[in-house]
Amino acid sequence: MDNAVYSSVETPAVLVDLDIAERNISRFQAYCDEHGLKLRPHIKTHKLPRLARFQIGKGAVGITCQKLSEADAMTEGAGIDDVLITYNLIGEAKRERLRALAGRVRLSVVADSAAVVDDLSAAMDGSGHQLTVLVECDTGARRCGVPTPEAAAELSGRIASSPNLRFGGLMTYPPVGGTSAVQDFMTRAKTLIETFGTPVETITSGGSPDMWRAHEAPVVTEYRPGTYVYNDRSLVERGICGFDDCALNVLATVVSVPDPHRAVIDAGSKVLTSDLLGLTGHGYVVGRPDIAVDSLSEEHGRLVSQEPIGLKVGDRVRIVPNHACVVANMLDAVVLTRGAEVLGYEPVAARGKVW
């Protein structure tokens, strides 16, 4: 790349091009609008209140978070008032924060067992708020979630009859390629629950890899993509977008060129992370498809090419990482840009929020 571009930015750095991010947001919002789907983006990718506000401004119904501490970081003073936490929240330590958040925003959470439902009910006791709880369903990812529509119906009944809780619907995070499994599971679960006279207000699914197929599961009322805001190499490899649609890049400097086919950059796993997502190599060097990022240590990334690598010490490269979400979690701040223009550093408000 031209070393004069971003020359004011110290490396390694995580660059976020707002033009591209905003285009990605608008494009999928238009798709959701066309198909009558509510969009509730997962903030785990950007972790930035300003982009969450942009998403809501374009039409998103609220945000998705994975943890209470993420929700706190995203909503405190940010003007965001509708949050779904797609995580089983349990334990004494989380109760006070759960009640405080429920008093501040329109909050929904999930549960996939009686133990979690009972814990949530106890947590809300005396809070004066009723908490909306969705049943998490396993539509094939084999992570969390009740295993069958029958189990979903049973747990919905427990939620509906628990003090301080109201049943809000069904939630799933399907495996890639799981759209039709979602349709089948959710249709059956909805029918069962409605048989008991309980309305199923929301059926929410997610995942950027299948986001353009969301309409193929018409039972779903709401979609929760995360990565779509930035995109990454894993989504390019799946054919979901092009490298020009990748809003998050890592800017790095060549610190060593030990032989004509190898260069070492100052970005290692502390920036790019070791996430492979099934790919080979640790990222795409923009403009250099001949180069492989073939190994990382914490502060070094090794670039190799069968061609003469043609880089010298001090040159800069931009890398599209395999997985944008985890890269956004590594540094305290990202550098916002619009094309070649550098806007400045933006603290990653929800970085490292695992509670």
Q: Given the rule CB under 8 A, which residues bind a second copy?
A: 10-12, 44, 66-67, 87-88, 90-91, 93-94, 112-113, 115-116, 119, 138, 142-147, 253, 255-259, 262, 264, 266-267, 269-271, 273-276, 295, 297-300, 302, 312-314, 325-326, 329-332, 352, 354-355
Min CB(11)–a second copy separation in Å = 7
Nearer to a second copy, 339 or 352 (CB): 352
Type of residue numbered 30: A
Residues 144/66, Cβ–Cβ less than 8 Å: no
Closest CA to 343 of 5, 1, 18: 18
Other CB atoms within 10 Å distance of the CB of residue 63: 29
* Proportion of the chain in helix, strand, coil states, percent, rounded to 5: 30, 25, 40
In the complex, least distance from residue 50 CB atom to a second copy, rounded to whole angstroms: 21
Q: Which residue number, 44 or 190, has a Cβ lying nearer to a second copy?
A: 44
Report, in Å, the least distance between residue 52 CB and a second copy: 17
Q: Whose Cβ is closer to a second copy: residue 18's or residue 116's?
A: 116
Tokens 């070492």 belong to 264
- Nearest Cα neighbor of 249 from 337, 349, 341, 353 is 337
Q: Which is nearer to a second copy, 89 or 192 (CB)?
A: 89
CB of 231 to a second copy, least distance (A): 17
Closest Cα to residue 74, out of 103, 48, 95, 101?
Answer: 48
Of 74 and 271, CB closest to a second copy: 271
Question: CB 355 → a second copy: shortest distance, Å?
Answer: 6
Angle between helices 149-160 and 179-195 (to 10 degrees): 50
**Helical residues (DSSP H) of the chain, grouped into ranges:** 18-34, 49-58, 68-75, 92-104, 114-124, 149-160, 179-195, 233-237, 269-272, 324-327
Q: Least distance from C-beta 88 to a second copy, angstroms?
A: 4
Tokens 């599961």 belong to residue: 217
Buried b (16+ CB within 10 A) or exposed e, 98-120: bbebbeebebbbbbbbeebbebb
Q: Which is nearer to a second copy, 60 or 68 (CB)?
A: 68
Nearer to a second copy, 193 or 267 (CB): 267
Q: How far is the CB of 236 from a second copy (least distance, A)?
A: 19
